[in-house]
Amino acid sequence: MPTAKLTARPLARLALTVAAGTLLLSACSSTSTVPSSASSGGPVSVVAAFYPLEYAATSVGGDAVSVTTLTPPGVEPHDLELTAAQVAEIASADVVLYVKGFQPAVDEAVQQQAADRAIDVSDGLTLLAGTGEGEESAVDPHVWLAPLNMATIASTIGTRFATLNPAAADAIGTRTTEFGDSMSQLDARFTAGLAQCASRDLVVSHDAFGYLADAYDLTQIGISGLSPEAEPSPARLKEVAELVRDTGITTIYHETLVDPKIAQTIADETGATSAVLDPLEGLAPDSTGDYLTVMDQNLATLQSGQSCT
């Protein structure tokens, strides 16, 4: 994530400081002494940083795990500020699932409270560089938007769950295999559905779709960079608008949980239409969908917007 985001968290740091002090008094600040819930007969306690990791954890773990999510529905996760209670949850969990570099407050809490029990689910995946303004060296954290990455994530966390709860290892293994199969089937639907498209240029409000684009031979063109709150420069707005006009792009994609005004402005200026493409960073509060149903809706949106046959 952009460096500025790492230093602009006074409230998050205050919460971390207060919580860390409390935990120092109650647990001598030793993460290695936290007992496994499963070792005492209960489910593995899991803290997931945001929705896709919650989805993978509950799908693979089933009743062998108890999952708490740090990012509530409807909250844009990039700028999550942790409460003292949430830091305490991180400190006491058997497993913490996160993506390093995506949520700075979570990164800091993990480093201080759960370094030996956290899983950076992007570790071991092939990572992409950010392509937005000033982000040439930044790593794109949006790994979950490639279904085969999600299969790998599930395998990684399933192995940890089975280690912590050996009695449930067979069931966890079965669910992990089933989850991988569902991701392979989703990948096949995307591959077939996006094989023949009039346009392979994907104009999006911010660079959240790099892994999806890379997996299915699309070219992501982000109006903003990796952070949805980064304001694009006038030069960037002009550049994207000219590209849309010159190449005949018909659809500009904006996101759930983020103000669509920038994408809508370019759509209005160029005569393109706008459509919602969900980065699955979180579900809307009233959503009845899940990762699979939202991704299938994304596929339908792309097939329409990219004029695929």
Q: Are 87 and 19 in contact (CB under 8 A)?
A: yes
Do 202 and 281 sit in the same domain of this protein? yes
Q: What is the mean pLDDT of the chain?
A: 88
Do 266 and 173 sit in the same domain of this protein? no
**CATH code, domain carrying 259:** 3.40.50.1980
Q: Are 208 and 279 in contact (CB under 8 A)?
A: yes
pLDDT the model gives residue 104: 94
Confidence grade of residue 179 (pLDDT, cut at 50, 70, 90)? very high
Report how far residue 26's alpha carbon sits from residue 162's, in angstroms, rounded to the nearest whole number.
29
Question: pLDDT tens for residues 212-242?
Answer: 999 999 999 999 888 877 789 999 999 999 9
Confidence grade of residue 205 (pLDDT, cut at 50, 70, 90)? very high
The amino acid at 130: G
pTM for the model stands at 0.87
3-state DSSP assignment of residue 253: strand
Do 117 and 260 sit in the same domain of this protein? no
Do 61 and 175 sit in the same domain of this protein? yes
Do 256 and 129 sit in the same domain of this protein? no
Domain boundary among 158, 189, 220: 189
pLDDT the model gives residue 9: 38
pLDDT the model gives residue 259: 86
Do 171 and 216 sit in the same domain of this protein? no
Q: State the residue range of the domain holding 254.
A: 195-305
Do 72 and 57 sit in the same domain of this protein? yes
Domain boundary among 168, 189, 210: 189
Parallel, antiparallel or unpaired: strands 95-98 and 44-48: parallel
Confidence grade of residue 40 (pLDDT, cut at 50, 70, 90)? low
Do 223 and 83 sit in the same domain of this protein? no
Residue count of the chain: 309
Q: CA 61 → CA 154, 168, 169, 284, 294, distances in Å?
A: 9, 9, 9, 24, 21
pLDDT the model gives residue 21: 42
Q: Sign of torsion, CA 34 39 43 48?
A: positive
Do 212 and 182 sit in the same domain of this protein? no
Do 183 and 214 sit in the same domain of this protein? no
Do 219 and 301 sit in the same domain of this protein? yes
The pLDDT of 123-127, averaged and rounded, is 96
The number of folded domains in the chain is 2
Do 70 and 22 sit in the same domain of this protein? yes
Question: pLDDT tens for residues 237-260?
Answer: 999 999 999 999 999 999 988 889
pLDDT the model gives residue 41: 67
Domain boundary among 130, 154, 189: 189
Lowest mean pLDDT among 122-126, 129-133, 245-249, 257-261: 129-133
